[in-house]
């Protein structure tokens, strides 16, 4: 079934549901609004009025309940269209695989390995890349998924039905049954509240993430390992990747930055939930294997190692004794059943209670005890059995361990410094620690690190906030002593500014007994911090105490770069360039000091937060910055859109892995993998001409100046932002456990989190963080340097970083919509302020669009991506009614008297539905 046919089918079923469950009047209203929106889009000048004025009048005449129903219909339509597009994408991949076989599909692991072989990468060079290979996805609960989990699960069932309907050999009765199921699911979707009615707890977010781990990643990660191994067997026989080269981590339950709901008790419960999922899933695997692996010892005798293992386990439970008696010649079945029983016993362990108590304990099972018999079986079994489900079980143990995903820990540098300062005062060591300058703090910390740890009581006379921070460090020490070091990822310091921030964490870890092997990761997320990062890392590496600590960390030094806050600080162009420069210089510093580096990319879903195609971003990184190791966050709606099913997850994972392999070999990729840049024209990431760097400096500086002039220096900009976007309503949405602002009650650009900042501008179709300042930067360079346009065109043709940057900006410009944004600007009470700021934004939008098209040789945005361009154009008439409804509801809400009322609550409910719908229509939130 073609995409248009699928969308038509879904639209027809939705129309039928509206007629059956609501009324012909609702259906007629929705159809009239849709027709007016399409007519408005077809007008030569949509801003001038015509159908747009009639559309606004029609929506203004709707009572609030009918407006909510219409918004719900358009929102549900986009949910269904998105499912259809995802299914079509997978179907295209299947067709491509069939048509190209035995050649690999585009952007696959097989294609990457085949390409590297064709470019002359020798086996010993590939072995070097593989020896360093480490790819880690970090799942976060950043609140950008605006839909309920209930809605998402129903949408997944619709996807499964569409996949079944696509089969060509369906009996009429089978098709009829599937259509009935589709009708049921869409009816259930219509009757289900789209928005959450209460804010989720941290543990709710943990359970949602564990769903993805257990239902999707548990199958997908081992299959990606198999894809890589098969590609190596074909092109580099004999080479194998490390056992744990592909891993998962999570921030949920460990990310304290600005979230008072994440406590030591919550972190302990998170660890319990992680371990519970892993142990139960492994138990089910072993139980199933014990049923299937009915190998007789008359065919394959037990090895001495396995015989000895069984002899040590003679004290069998009644169930295991029954298996031994019933299947006396099948000891392998007994071994696997015994492992399943061990895991069943371990699942009874109240991990959270153990972690929060002070009693001595030890874990009931460890990874090595489970792996040893599986490895011994693999050595004696024939290949067909050893490399089937048994091998997959081993890989799942190796990849997920007994915790499913490592739990990262994150806290803000200011909070950490305050917590340390309170204890230093209580111990009469330093009364004014927080007031000391960076150098004085560093010197004090170095002295303390050279001394024995003082005795610390469980409550050393500090504030509850500081006591909670110290409780975390004690929890780390206890958890690692009982369950091993693998349950935790790195300790990340948000807003890290200086070496004292890192040394302070090291001291706190030393004093609580958890320093050894604890990766301490500075997160650089402002322009200034990114500029200072290389010097800070060099200073750290010169300190013997820190080098001694690094020697205990098997994975070396990790450094995190933040895309969201750097964008909010310096704008789109400066943020991207500052991150690029910082990576280059940090790589150089680590090379000078012989330190193994992993760069951790804190990316979000939108271009403003580091989004865009991940594989293209990886290939656009500076030389030496990947080197086999790549770590990135997958957040909110990105997690749902990329990993809602195993096929989608496999496609996204293989694109990431393929790009990491090519980037690590530092051989420019062919064709579309680097946006059709011919290999002979590409510049090496390590040899960017100095003139290009100077021009980028000039351009990014001018861009940052224009951005900050608008956002930080324009009088009344804050008032404009609050009035011309649904910011306040987004802050009230119960979509995450974390407050929208680092300082609750404070609304300022510097204090609001990057997610509501981007979310609010995306909803109002300004999409300002994804492009503003780019036009000013480009124009400044073009005015200063005659012939600069030809140079920029050469950059686009030859420099993957600039090409990726410009393509992402073009996508942001295309998703922005100034006629719709003008509706939001009309909400600003101060008309003079509104017209002045909106005029500045419009001018910069035209400037950026003009120069992007000039550099790319286009006459309209996205001309080189006709499929995506058409998709956005087709979606706009369906998104527009949601924006019109949102603007009308905001206008009514703001006209009400101060205070809460039934009318205000009803209006907010409709606004929440429009926020959901616009996010689905644009396939982006924050």
- How many residues are recorded in the chain? 926
Same domain, 765 and 830: yes
- 784 with 882, same domain? no
Domain boundary among 811, 839, 864: 864
Same domain? For 185 and 298 the reply is no
What confidence tens digit (pLDDT) does each residue in 398-420 have? 999 999 999 999 999 999 999 99
At 678 the pLDDT is 44
Share of the chain above pLDDT 90, in %: 76
| Exposure class string for 871-904: b at 16+ Cβ within 10 A, else e | bbeebbbbbbbbbbbbbbbbebbeeeeeeeeeeb
Q: Is residue 55 part of a domain?
A: yes
Q: Is the pLDDT of residue 147 over 70?
A: no
Tokens 């592909």 -> residue: 246
Q: Tell me how crowded residue 539 is: count the other CB atoms within 10 A of its CB.
A: 16
> Binning pLDDT at 50, 70 and 90, where does residue 663 land?
very high
Residues 679-738 pLDDT 10s? 444 555 567 899 999 999 999 999 999 999 999 999 999 999 999 999 999 888 766 665
Tell whether 113 is covered by a domain: no
Query: Confidence band (pLDDT; 50, 70, 90) for 3?
Result: confident
Burial class (CB in 10 A: 0-12, 13-18, 19+), 907: buried
- Domain assignment present for 285: yes
Among the residue ranges 138-142, 482-486, 531-535, 834-838, the one predicted with the least confidence is 138-142
Note whether 898 and 791 are same-domain residues: no
Q: Is the pLDDT of residue 673 over 50?
A: no
What does the DSSP 8-state code read for residue 495?
T
Domain that holds residue 705: 690-864
Residue 68 placed within a domain: yes
- Asked if residues 543 and 499 have their Cβ atoms less than 8 Å apart, the reply is yes
Closest Cα to residue 673, out of 653, 647, 648, 655?
655
Is residue 205 in some structural domain? no
Both tokens of 570, joined, read: 């310096």
The CATH number covering residue 306 comes to 1.20.1440
Q: Which of 358, 380, 400 is the last residue of a domain?
A: 400
Q: Where is 854: in which H helix or E strand?
A: helix 831-856
Structure tokens at 417: 């410094």
Contact 847, 775 (CB under 8 A): yes
Whether residues 859 and 719 share a domain: the answer is yes
* Cβ atoms 407, 213 nearer than 8 A: no
Could you read off the pLDDT of 39-62 as tens digits, one per residue?
Answer: 998 886 665 568 899 999 999 999
Q: What is the pLDDT of residue 740?
A: 52
Is 135 within 8 Å of 652 (Cβ atoms)? no
**3-class DSSP state of 317:** coil
Give 725's DSSP letter.
S
In a domain, 730, yes or no: yes
- CB neighbours of 81 closer than 8 A, spacing ≥ 6? 7, 10, 875, 878
Task: Name which residue leads in pLDDT, 289 or 871.
Answer: 289
Mean pLDDT of 3-11: 92
Mean pLDDT to the nearest integer, 238-256 = 96
538 burial level (CB within 10 Å; 0-12, 13-18, 19+): middle
pLDDT grade, residue 559 (50/70/90)?
A: very high
Same domain for 893 and 858? no
Parallel, antiparallel, or unpaired for β 597-602 and 520-524? unpaired
> What pLDDT is stored for residue 455 in this prediction?
86
For residue 737, what pLDDT is reported? 63
Rounded to 5, what percent of the chain is helix, strand, coil? 65, 5, 30
Whole-Å CA distances, 584 to 384, 587, 926: 47, 5, 28
Q: Is 410 left (phi over 0), alpha (psi -120 to 50) or beta?
A: beta
- Structural domain contains residue 654: no
Tokens, residue 462: 């500090």
Q: Do residues 893 and 824 share a domain?
A: no
Is 264 a member of any domain? no
Catalytic residue set: 142, 568
Give the pLDDT confidence score for residue 751 in this predicted structure: 73
pLDDT tens per residue across span 471-525: 999 999 999 999 999 999 999 999 999 999 999 999 999 999 999 999 999 999 9
What is the C-alpha end-to-end distance of the chain, expressed in Å? 33
Number of domains composing the chain: 3
Tokens at 742, concatenated:
């680092």
Cα 915 from Cα 756, distance rounded (Å): 12
Residue 266 has pLDDT above 90, yes or no: yes
Asked whether residue 843 falls in the same domain as residue 819, the answer is yes
Model confidence at 672, pLDDT cuts 50, 70, 90, reads very low
CB 401 within 8 A of CB 278: yes
Model confidence at 353, pLDDT cuts 50, 70, 90, reads confident
Whether the pLDDT of residue 461 is over 90: the answer is no
Mean per-residue pLDDT, 192-210: 84
Average per-residue pLDDT for the chain? 91
The reported pLDDT for the residue numbered 19 is 95
Q: What is the pLDDT of residues 152-183, one digit of tens each?
A: 789 989 999 999 998 878 999 999 999 999 99
Distance CA 270, CA 259 (A): 15
Please indicate, yes or no, whether residues 806 and 884 belong to a single structural domain of this protein. Answer: no
Tokens of 592: 């000078």
DSSP alpha helix (H) spans, 241-388: 264-292, 304-311, 318-326, 331-346, 351-356, 367-380, 383-386
Tens digit of each residue's pLDDT (9 = 90 or more) over 59-115: 999 999 999 999 999 999 999 999 999 888 888 888 888 898 888 999 999 999 999
Same domain, 853 and 898: no
| Of 359-368, 568-577, 894-903, the least confident | 359-368
What is the pLDDT at residue 669?
Answer: 44
pLDDT at 37 over 60: yes
Which of 343, 372, 400 is the endpoint of a domain? 400
Same domain flag for 75 and 165: yes
The reply to whether 697 and 840 lie within a common domain is yes
Of 443 and 737, the one with more pLDDT: 443
Beta-carbon contacts of 111 under 8 Å, excluding residues fewer than 6 positions away, are: 104, 105, 658, 673
Lowest mean pLDDT among 36-50, 325-339, 430-444, 698-712: 36-50
């Amino acid at each position: 079934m073609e995409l248009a046919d699928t969308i038509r089918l879904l639209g027809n079923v939705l129309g039928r549901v509206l007629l059956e469950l609501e009324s012909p009047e609702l259906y007629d209203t929705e159809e009239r609004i849709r027709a007016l929106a399409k007519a408005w889009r077809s007008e030569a000048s949509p801003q001038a009025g015509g159908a747009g004025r009639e559309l606004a009048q029609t929506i203004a005449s709707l009572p609030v309940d009918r407006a909510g129903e219409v918004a719900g219909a358009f929102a549900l339509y986009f949910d269904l269209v998105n499912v259809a597009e995802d299914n079509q994408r997978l179907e295209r991949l299947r067709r491509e695989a069939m048509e190209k076989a035995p050649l690999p599909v585009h952007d696959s692991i097989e294609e990457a390995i085949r390409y590297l072989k064709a470019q002359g990468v020798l086996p010993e060079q590939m072995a070097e890349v593989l020896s360093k290979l480490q790819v880690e996805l970090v799942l976060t609960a950043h609140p950008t998924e605006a839909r309920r989990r209930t809605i998402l699960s129903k949408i997944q069932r619709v996807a499964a039905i569409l996949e079944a309907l696509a089969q060509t050999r369906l009996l009429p009765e089978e098709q009829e049954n599937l259509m009935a199921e589709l009708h049921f699911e869409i009816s259930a979707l219509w009757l289900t509240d789209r928005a959450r009615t209460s804010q989720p707890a941290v543990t709710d977010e943990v359970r949602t993430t564990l769903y993805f781990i257990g239902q999707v990643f548990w199958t997908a990660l081992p299959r990606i390992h198999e894809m890589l191994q098969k590609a190596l067997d074909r092109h580099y026989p004999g080479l194998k990747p490390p056992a744990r080269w592909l891993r998962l981590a999570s921030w949920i339950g460990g990310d304290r930055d600005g979230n008072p709901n994440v406590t030591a008790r919550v972190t302990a419960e998170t660890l319990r939930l992680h371990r519970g999922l892993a142990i139960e899933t492994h138990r089910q695997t072993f139980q199933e294997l014990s049923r299937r692996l009915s190998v007789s010892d008359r065919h394959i005798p037990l090895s001495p190692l396995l015989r000895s293992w069984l002899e040590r386990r003679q004290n069998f439970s009644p169930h295991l004794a029954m298996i031994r008696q019933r299947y006396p010649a099948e000891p392998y079945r007994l071994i696997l059943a015994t492992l399943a029983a061990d895991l069943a016993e371990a699942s009874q362990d109240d991990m959270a209670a153990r972690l929060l108590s002070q009693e001595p304990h030890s874990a009931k099972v460890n990874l090595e005890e489970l792996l040893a018999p599986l490895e011994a079986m693999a050595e004696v079994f024939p290949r067909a059995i050893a490399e089937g489900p048994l091998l997959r079980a081993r890989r799942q143990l190796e990849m997920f361990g007994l915790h499913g995903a490592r739990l990262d820990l994150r806290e803000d540098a200011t909070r950490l410094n305050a917590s340390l300062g309170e204890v230093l005062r209580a111990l009469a060591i330093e009364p004014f620690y927080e007031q000391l300058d960076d150098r004085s703090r560093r010197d004090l910390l170095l002295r303390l690190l050279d001394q024995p740890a003082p005795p610390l009581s469980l409550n050393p006379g500090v504030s509850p906030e500081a006591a909670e921070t110290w409780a975390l460090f004690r929890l780390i020490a206890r958890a690692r002593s009982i369950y091993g070091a693998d349950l935790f990822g790195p300790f990340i310091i948000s807003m890290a500014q200086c070496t004292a921030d890192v040394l302070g964490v090291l001291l706190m870890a030393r004093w609580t007994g958890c320093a050894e092997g604890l990766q301490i990761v500075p997160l650089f997320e402002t322009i200034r911090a990114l500029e200072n990062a290389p010097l800070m890392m060099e200073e750290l590496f010169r300190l013997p105490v820190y080098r001694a600590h690094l020697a205990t960390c098997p994975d070396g030094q990790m450094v995190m770069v933040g895309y969201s806050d750097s964008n909010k600080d310096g704008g789109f162009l400066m943020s991207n360039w500052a991150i690029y420069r910082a990576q280059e210089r940090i790589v150089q510093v680590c090379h000078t000091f012989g330190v193994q580096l992993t760069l951790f990319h804190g990316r979000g879903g939108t271009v403003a937060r580091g989004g865009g195609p991940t594989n293209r971003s990886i290939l656009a990184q500076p030389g030496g910055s990947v080197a086999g190791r790549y770590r990135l966050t997958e957040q909110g709606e990105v997690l749902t859109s990329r990993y809602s099913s195993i096929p989608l997850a496999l496609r996204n994972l293989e694109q990431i892995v393929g790009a990491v392999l090519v980037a690590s070999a530092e051989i420019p990729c062919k064709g579309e993998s680097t946006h059709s840049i011919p290999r002979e024209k590409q510049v090496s990431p390590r040899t960017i001409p100095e003139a290009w760097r100077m021009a980028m400096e000039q351009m990014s500086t001018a861009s940052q100046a224009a951005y900050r002039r608008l956002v930080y220096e324009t009088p009344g900009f804050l008032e404009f932002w609050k009035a011309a976007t649904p910011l306040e309503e987004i802050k009230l949405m119960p979509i995450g456990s974390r407050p929208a602002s680092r300082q609750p009650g404070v609304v300022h650009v510097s204090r609001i989190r990057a997610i509501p900042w981007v979310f609010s501008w995306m909803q109002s179709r300004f999409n300002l963080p994804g492009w503003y300042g780019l036009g000013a930067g480009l124009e400044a360079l073009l005015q200063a340097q005659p012939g600069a346009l030809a140079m920029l065109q050469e950059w686009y043709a030859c420099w993957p970083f600039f090409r990726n940057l410009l393509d992402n900006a073009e996508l942001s410009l295309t998703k922005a919509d100034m006629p719709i944004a003008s509706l939001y600007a009309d909400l600003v009470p101060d008309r003079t302020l509104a017209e002045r700021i909106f005029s500045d934004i419009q001018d910069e939008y035209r400037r950026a669009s003009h120069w992007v098209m000039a550099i790319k040789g286009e006459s309209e945005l996205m001309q080189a991506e006709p499929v995506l361009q058409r998709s956005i154009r087709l979606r706009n008439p369906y998104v527009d009614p949601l924006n019109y409804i949102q603007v009308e509801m905001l206008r009514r809400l703001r006209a009400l008297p101060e205070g809460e009322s039934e009318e205000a609550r009803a209006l907010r409910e409709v606004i929440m539905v429009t926020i959901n719908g616009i996010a689905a229509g644009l396939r982006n939130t924050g």
